[in-house]
A and B are shown apart, each in its own frame.
Chain A
Amino acid sequence: MKTLFKMAAAATGLVVAGLASASAETLQIGTEGAYAPFNYVSENGEIKGFDIDIGNAICAEMKVECEWSVHDWGGIIPALNAHKFDFMVASMAITEARMENVSFSDPYYYNAMRFLAVKELALEEATPERLKGLVVGTQQGAVSVPVLDAYFPDSEHKLYPKMTEALMDLESGRLDLALFSQFTAGEWLAGSSGCCEFVGESFLMDGTIGAGIAFRKQDDELRNRVNAALKTIMDNGTYETIRAEYFDFDIMTKPPYVSELFDK
């Protein structure tokens, strides 16, 4: 009887231990898989991108196993709250509205805006005085339009239906400058004929916070662990190594807000 009890206890212990080790080692991460180069599904079905590399680096730092899954953007917050995965690395912009449903890590990158200019102009800086009388293009209805209206009233603004068309006009010389997200502009710059360059500092729209990793609101303990790991990889250079594989410019340091940069 005693031996039987011991065996049962040992067996239960084994099962419990097995469960415990499994749950401590594996975390489920959700992403969208349709936002290259941040997160996308490659031709042979692998989930790849900057978000995935950062997520994996965080997992390695926390010494846990991570498994990725892709979810529709429209239902990705409900999926997180329905425990389909444990946290989300999907380039989600931190906003007040989203914070009602989820909590966010510290920003893990910033999507800043920056001017592109024709090299011949040799501008070196992009201040309202320097851009006086020059032709600046951007996309109709984009967040850059109010920036141009508010801070660059003495430049001529040309609005295009699509970003690619403005970039074509920058390349042909109809535009002197274009104002876009640093990511899209940088990607285009890499494949362009070498006509153009970034000028001036990159800047953030007032009120934007950056992209964050999202958690269920009650999972504060996990959020703190991820924040700590994120800080470590940012400090020890792992982050920069990953970033350099995707982008030629800094996305980790918080850029100034547009009002800080151009007011007075």
Chain B
Amino acid sequence: MFDLYLDYIDRWSHGLWLTASMSTLSVLIGFLVALPIGFVRSRAKGPLAWLAIAYVNLFRGMPLLVLMFLVYYGFGQFSSELRAMGLWWFFRDAYFCGMLALILNTSAYQAEIIRGSLNTISTSVIETNAALNLTRWTAFRRVLLPIAFAKALPPLGNEYILMVKATSLLAIITVFDLMGEARTIFSETLDLGVYYVAAIHYLVLVLAIEWTLRRVEARFKWMA
């Protein structure tokens, strides 16, 4: 089994790098997208709130596999229109398409996590803000957001780990992450040991993420 690793070390490193970088980047960008949506879901009413609900329902309701297929092959059908609009450089690239699908998916989930944590902040905190004469923006930026973030950290970490595994779907749009590389190596060797090597890679990656998350959580613990 060790030689399955050593013989294909380039492939494994490429897959590991791709899985780690794409999941991390999509979760981070997804968080930035989810923040306003989650806030709107928690606080706003009216058309803005409907839009946020529509976004969450659309991208949470659609399997990531379908989303990836639609973004990559679906937009591929309109290549001449996209060329005319100057957007083809983005949709031509499988990596960008995959990233877009991952971000749309994870931001919908993260928005719900943020909404949930904002909703659990007790009214006494909000009353304290008013008593201290903080403006709404300062109160949000300096008090509500850090508390909500601290509360949201465990489920956000969970979402991150789910995304690590979700990247294995990227192989359908020709982006070869760990699982895609494993399948390629398997088709050459026909040795099921390949999947043990892949599983160990995922395990090590998830353990590293967990270790990091625990340290971040410890720093925010007093607020949560």
Contacts and interface: CB of A to CB of B under 8 A. Distances in A.
A104 B183 CA distance: 35
Contact of B92 (A145, A159, A165, A173): A173
Given A140-B184, A174-B92, A159 B73 contact: no
B76 A161 contact: no
A161 B171 contact: yes
A145 B184 CA distance: 10
A158 B79 contact: no
Interface of B: 73, 76-77, 79, 88, 92, 94, 171-172, 174, 176, 183-184, 187
Given A160-B174, A161-B172, A173-B92, A140 B76 contact: no
Interface centre among A158, A159, A172 (most CB of B within 10 A): A172
Closest 6 pairs (CB-CB, A-B): A172-B76, A172-B79, A141-B187, A158-B174, A161-B172, A173-B79
A137 B76 CA distance: 15
Interface of A: 137, 140-141, 145, 158-161, 165, 168-169, 171-174
Given A160-B174, A161-B172, A169 B76 contact: yes
Given A165-B73, A168-B73, A174-B92, A159 B184 contact: yes
B145 to A, nearest CB: 41
Query: Which secondary structure dominates chain B's binding surface?
Result: helix
27 contacts: A137-B174, A140-B171, A140-B183, A140-B184, A140-B187, A141-B183, A141-B187, A158-B94, A159-B174, A159-B184, A160-B174, A161-B172, A165-B73, A168-B73, A168-B76, A168-B77, A169-B73, A169-B174, A172-B76, A172-B77, A172-B79, A173-B79, A173-B88, A174-B76, A174-B79, A174-B92, A174-B94
A101 to B, nearest CB: 24
Nearest to B175: A158
A154 B171 CA distance: 22
Query: Which secondary structure dominates chain A's binding surface?
Result: mixed
Nearest to A165: B73
Contacts of A137: 174
B183 to A, nearest CB: 7
A174 B171 CA distance: 16
Nearest to B174: A158
Nearest to A158: B174
Interface centre among A160, A168, A169, A171 (most CB of B within 10 A): A169
A165 B174 CA distance: 10
Interface centre among B77, B174, B176, B183 (most CB of A within 10 A): B174
A21 B44 CA distance: 92
Nearest to A166: B174
A138 to B, nearest CB: 11
A159 B79 contact: no
B32 to A, nearest CB: 28
Contacts of B172: 161, 165
Nearest to A169: B76
Contacts of A173: 79, 88, 92
Contacts of A141: 183-184, 187
A6 B77 CA distance: 83
A158 B72 CA distance: 14
Given A141-B183, A145-B187, A159-B184, 15 more contacts: A140-B171, A140-B187, A158-B174, A159-B176, A160-B174, A168-B73, A168-B76, A169-B174, A171-B76, A172-B77, A172-B79, A173-B88, A174-B76, A174-B92, A174-B94
Contacts of A168: 73, 76-77
A137 B174 CA distance: 9
A123 B170 CA distance: 31
Contacts of A159: 174, 176, 184
